[in-house]
Structure 1
């Protein structure tokens, strides 16, 4: 399997905080869920990936379907990203927004963009600044997907959405991954969403990855006892144990349960 991203001894220092990503690889087609409490380094990692900030040390190697990206500009043509702030587009309605972004992305797909807005029930005649937080997030997802990215980077993509919209969003992201092989990197505090979407996870705390791996294997290797305690499971330990959920893994690694 080919890579989307490789972190070579990457660190980022901000005042007293240090993010450390030694030797991590994100494979093409992977759906990586990043779990961590506030201050864990999730947003710093995403900013590093997108080139918004530079590592203090180490290198990030970015790849496209054609191989190693020759420049950040080339790589960004293959990337969609979503934050819950669309203020840069505040005075645009959907037609103007699409016209503007078609000049930014060579693969911009007008029809797909407007079909996503219709799917999300976004009013295309209103300016972005009039949208609710949920509508802004839906528009952000449509913007991120409309040029058919190879990599999708999402910071709390279901934040501010109601239950119906969250399910709709998860189904869409799963479809993008299965149909196009899109690599997805996302952070979320909503572990139920993570459970339905992520194929692999990073559990982060204070700038370090405490545990990582395929979701199924991580769950299989941890268990919840009858008294509610969570622990790593040995192969011979089966009776009376319940397989761990992502919430259990969060509590074990990030909730002081180790």
Structure 2
């Protein structure tokens, strides 16, 4: 596999079927598991990170299972994370919870999946991370909450230059958020690049077949992310 890099300020969407390795990739980047081959190089705004401890201070993350903070309510959670992160912003944390209509006095384990995800996102953002890693951030949210989440993440990226890496099965959300994508299968990145270029370099014919050709030059309709998913990861392409 060629060397892959993620640029500062990028919003990378990772697409793949179940078992493709999306969650494993996030765990590798976080240093929770070790790679069996190859190397991962991590950077902060100051340059190459000198230690994992230094790097993790600049990172926010939310896992798909959301099981870490089950027995805490938001007030206790804020107190706990305030000791973990040197830049923890209590005011911003509670402002995000208010924005999401999260009950601050209820334990996380009593929440619906959507409310748990909102609490996790608030916690991940409250120390103003340089990098945000999210596993299925809009899964389990209703349409209104999904739009709210996408707007928030876009604002964080534009306002603070936050680099965002997220996986999702909801390609409509990916279209609205990602500036670049990886298409993964069995732990391998089959295609990667900017959303604009990948779509332009794959065309859809009138009969629905998908071709790896420049859409404009071939007189084809420009591919959507769903078309790219079908072409690389299975479907009618």
Give me the TM-score of the superposition, normalised by structure 1: 0.89
Correspondence list, 1:107-146, <5 A: 107-146=87-126
The 10-residue stretch of structure 1 (27-36 or 202-211) with the greater mean CA deviation from structure 2: 202-211
Structure 1 residue 147 corresponds to structure 2 residue 127: yes
Correspondence list, 1:168-179, <5 A: 168-179=148-159
User: What's the counterpart of residue 189 of structure 1?
Assistant: 169
Matched-pair contact (CA < 8 Å) for 1:84–1:133: no
Distance in 2, Cα, partners of 1:91 & 1:43:
24
User: What's the counterpart of residue 217 of structure 2?
Assistant: 236
Matched-pair contact (CA < 8 Å) for 1:85–1:136: no
User: What's the counterpart of residue 6 of structure 2?
Assistant: 26
Distance in 1, Cα, partners of 2:111 & 2:18:
27
User: What's the counterpart of residue 206 of structure 1?
Assistant: 186
Correspondence list, 1:96-107, <5 A: 96-107=76-87
Matched-pair contact (CA < 8 Å) for 1:107–1:147: yes
Count of matched residue positions in the alignment of Structure 1 and Structure 2:
236
Distance in 2, Cα, partners of 1:151 & 1:246:
24
By how many angstroms is 1:257 displaced? 4.4
User: What's the counterpart of residue 49 of structure 1?
Assistant: 29
By how many angstroms is 1:256 displaced? 4.7
Distance in 1, Cα, partners of 2:235 & 2:76:
49
User: What's the counterpart of residue 167 of structure 1?
Assistant: 147
3-state SS of the aligned residue for 1:134?
A: helix
Deviations 1:30-87 (A, max 9, x none): 1000001111111111110000000112211100001100000000000000113333
Give 1 or 2: higher helix fraction: 2
Give 1 or 2: higher strand fraction: 1
1:40–1:109 Cα change, 3 Å: same
Q: CA RMSD in A?
A: 1.2
Distance in 1, Cα, partners of 2:151 & 2:158:
11
3-state SS of the aligned residue for 1:26?
A: coil
Distance in 1, Cα, partners of 2:101 & 2:31:
32
3-state SS of the aligned residue for 1:60?
A: coil
**Structure 1 stretches lacking a partner, 5+ long:** 1-20
Deviations 1:8-28 (A, max 9, x none): xxxxxxxxxxxxx54110010
User: What's the counterpart of residue 230 of structure 2?
Assistant: 251
